[in-house]
């Protein structure tokens, strides 16, 4: 099932654009000085992508809050975007309730659940996502594009990035078979290894996505870090050989030149200590296209790795157990 959901990602991006174009977002009565995106897991990751993509354009801070509580500076000059595919994520619901009390401008993105119920009760703007997607982590496009439209309709960003998403969807459709072939080969290099994902600070959302997808789909531990920060701490940890690690560098050919040099030197150091070092370059013209390309490749890598590990990519029994245990507590 998960492979079919991954294959639909380009189509999902296009559908998300259609939903966003039809959405009605009313202006706030106060100036917006900051944006907070409240969301967890497969819905929250959309905020990480938006933060990377809008950093050169959005003139107000864009803060990702993946927890029960919103910061004390949430006020009537804050736009809070509430994102939860199911509409029942308890941390996100708690954040939504706080944002209402703080008199912030609240816009919800969900397919239903308590969040849409509360949005209707409080007459809040909301984007209704299509129901029936069995895995929230497969709904990245809905969350990411929905947030972009909210920001656009609130006058915080132009339509350029959304237009680039449309082009990216076409790129992924065109490259789909090639991406799948590359992903299958890459997955073969990760069997019985712990993947370590490195990229630049501009691409951290992609590294997070790779980590999360490898965790959930392939049922494998994984970690990531970003350059240049990694050069100031984690690099020192590469003191001895690690036969059990597979290091992946995710790159754009137009990354900041100084960071490109840092990656080259870092790769040279690590190549002496880890037997598997992989370098992957994006495709596309805009940052949005390159980001979506690396994302789609990573999703496929996680699925192929799941097959090689002989595990069900869709199964998340341990998370279901955790939620069931939490339900027993009224605290």
Catalytic residues: 216, 232, 323
How is residue 232 annotated by DSSP?
A: G
- Contact between residue 152 and residue 57 where contact means Cβ atoms under 8 Å apart: no
In what order do the strands lie in the sheet containing 78-83?
62-65, 34-39, 78-83, 105-110, 125-128
**9 class by beta-carbon count within 10 Å (0-12 exposed, 13-18 middle, 19+ buried):** buried
Q: Cis peptide before 181, with omega less than 30 degrees from 0?
A: no
- Phi and psi at 242, nearest 5°, equal -130, 90
Determine the angle formed by the axes of helices 160-190 and 287-308, rounding to 10 degrees. Answer: 30
Q: How far apart are CA 306 and CA 300, in angstroms?
A: 10
- 79: closest CA among 46, 60, 105? 105
Instruction: State how far the Cα of 252 lies from the Cα of 194, in Å rounded to an integer.
Output: 23
Q: How does DSSP classify residue 254?
A: T
- Strand (E) or helix (H) holding 224: strand 223-227
Q: How far apart are CA 167 and CA 292, in angstroms?
A: 10
């Amino acid at each position: 099932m998960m492979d079919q959901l991954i294959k639909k990602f380009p189509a999902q991006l296009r559908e998300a654009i259609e939903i966003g174009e039809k959405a009605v977002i009313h202006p706030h009565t106060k100036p917006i000085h900051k944006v907070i995106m409240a969301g967890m897991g497969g819905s929250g990751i959309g905020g990480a992508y938006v933060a990377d993509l809008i950093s050169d354009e959005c003139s107000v801070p864009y803060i990702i809050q993946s927890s029960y509580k919103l910061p004390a500076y949430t006020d009537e000059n804050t736009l809070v975007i509430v994102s939860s595919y199911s509409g029942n994520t308890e941390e996100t619901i708690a954040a939504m309730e706080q944002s209402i009390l703080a008199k912030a401008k609240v816009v919800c993105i969900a397919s239903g659940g308590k969040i849409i119920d509360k949005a209707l009760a409080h007459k809040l703007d909301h984007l209704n996502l299509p129901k029936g997607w069995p895995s929230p982590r497969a709904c990245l496009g809905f969350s990411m594009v929905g947030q972009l439209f909210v920001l656009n309709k609130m006058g915080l960003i132009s339509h350029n990035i959304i237009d680039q998403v449309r082009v990216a969807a076409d790129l992924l459709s065109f490259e789909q078979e090639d991406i799948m072939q590359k992903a299958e080969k890459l997955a073969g290099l990760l069997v019985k290894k712990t993947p370590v994902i490195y990229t630049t600070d501009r691409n951290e959302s992609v590294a997070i996505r790779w980590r999360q997808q490898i965790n959930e789909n392939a049922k494998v531990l994984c970690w990531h870090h970003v350059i240049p920060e990694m050069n100031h701490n984690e690099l020192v940890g590469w003191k001895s050989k690690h036969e059990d690690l597979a290091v992946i560098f995710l790159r754009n050919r137009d990354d900041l030149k100084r960071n490109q040099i840092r990656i080259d030197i870092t790769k040279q150091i690590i190549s002496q200590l880890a037997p598997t070092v992989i370098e992957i370059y994006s495709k596309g013209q805009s940052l949005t296209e390159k980001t979506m390309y690396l994302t789609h490749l990573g999703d496929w890598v996680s699925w192929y790795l799941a097959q090689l590990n002989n595990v069900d990519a869709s199964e998340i029994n341990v998370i279901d157990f955790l939620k069931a245990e939490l339900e027993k507590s009224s605290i």
